[in-house]
Amino acid sequence: MFIDTHCHFNFPAFVTDLENSINNIRQAKINSLIIPAVSATHFSQILQLTEQYSELYAALGLHPIYQHSPADLEQLSDIVSTHPTKLVAIGEIGLDRYDQSVDWQQQLDFFRAQLVLAKRYDLPVLIHSRKTHDIIYHELHQANLPCRGVIHGFSGSYQQALQFIKLGYYIGVGGVISYTRANKTRQTIAKLPLESLVLETDAPDMPLSGRQGQINRPENIVDIFNILSQLRTEQPSQIINAILTNTLTLFSRINRMEITNPIKR
């Protein structure tokens, strides 16, 4: 049984054939799936999807590489203040220094404002960090969020991962571990505490090795888990149970009553 903590299920790759997409995740034993927003234009669509299907949950936020306005931030605040039933996180938020075309000060301002929002409403965060791990660490340390969150698509060093873990954050494990050339990340994920890991696909992005150019799908979380099991020393049953516990601990608003028949240790 799997929970995909980061899947852009509202993108055309999935919603153009929604019923088939839902059937596919059910067949893959994906019990829950968190849909992070990247802009305010996605908020209502994501919330509508989560109301329509029990497996789907929402994370609302303003992604660092998109252009946003103060009105977008106000809209986000207004929605979060109503406590939507299926809203489990603020995200996808963060910082990005790979794309030099995005105004840096604007990124910082929006990131900090959304951390304040997460703290006010006791929600975890889904963190996008590209070439900004040290800055993100400083901002998260300063923010001191009660619910912490996930460092999404982590590809930093072992030492950087431990810093985030010591702050109480989880490390998102995705398709990057399928690439043998990503040796640093694979070695890091192999030796991090199992209690600090959650699974994610970032579908339709981040395709697995050998599937470049193809649409990544949430069902591929099964392959990510299998690769993780090859990298780790624990038994697969121990890994999946620990990851399920980690995920439900962090995203406490996911309906535990719907998580049935957990794998026995």
Domain-located, residue 17: yes
Residue 204 lies in domain: 2-258
Domain-located, residue 30: yes
Q: Is 202 annotated as a binding residue?
A: yes
Q: Is 68 annotated as a binding residue?
A: no
Round to whole Å and give the CA distance between 101 and 246.
Answer: 36
Domain-located, residue 28: yes
Domain-located, residue 97: yes
What is the predicted pLDDT for the residue at 259?
56
Domain with residue 61: its CATH number is: 3.20.20.140
CB of 224 closer than 8 Å to CB of 198: no
Domain-located, residue 219: yes
Round to whole Å and give the CA distance between 56 and 52.
Answer: 8
Predicted structure pTM score: 0.95
Q: Provide, rounded to the nearest whole percent, the portion of the chain with pLDDT above 70.
A: 96
Q: What is the pLDDT of residues 83-131, one digit of tens each?
A: 999 999 999 999 999 978 889 999 999 999 999 999 999 999 999 999 9
Domain-located, residue 264: no
Q: Is 4 annotated as a binding residue?
A: no
**What total of structural domains would you count in the chain?**
1
Residue 20 identity (one-letter amino acid): N
What is the predicted pLDDT for the residue at 37?
98
Q: Is 83 annotated as a binding residue?
A: no
Domain-located, residue 139: yes
Domain-located, residue 263: no
Round to whole Å and give the CA distance between 78 and 47.
Answer: 14
Q: Angle at the Cα of 110 (from 80 to 145), degrees rounded to 5?
A: 60
What is the predicted pLDDT for the residue at 9?
98
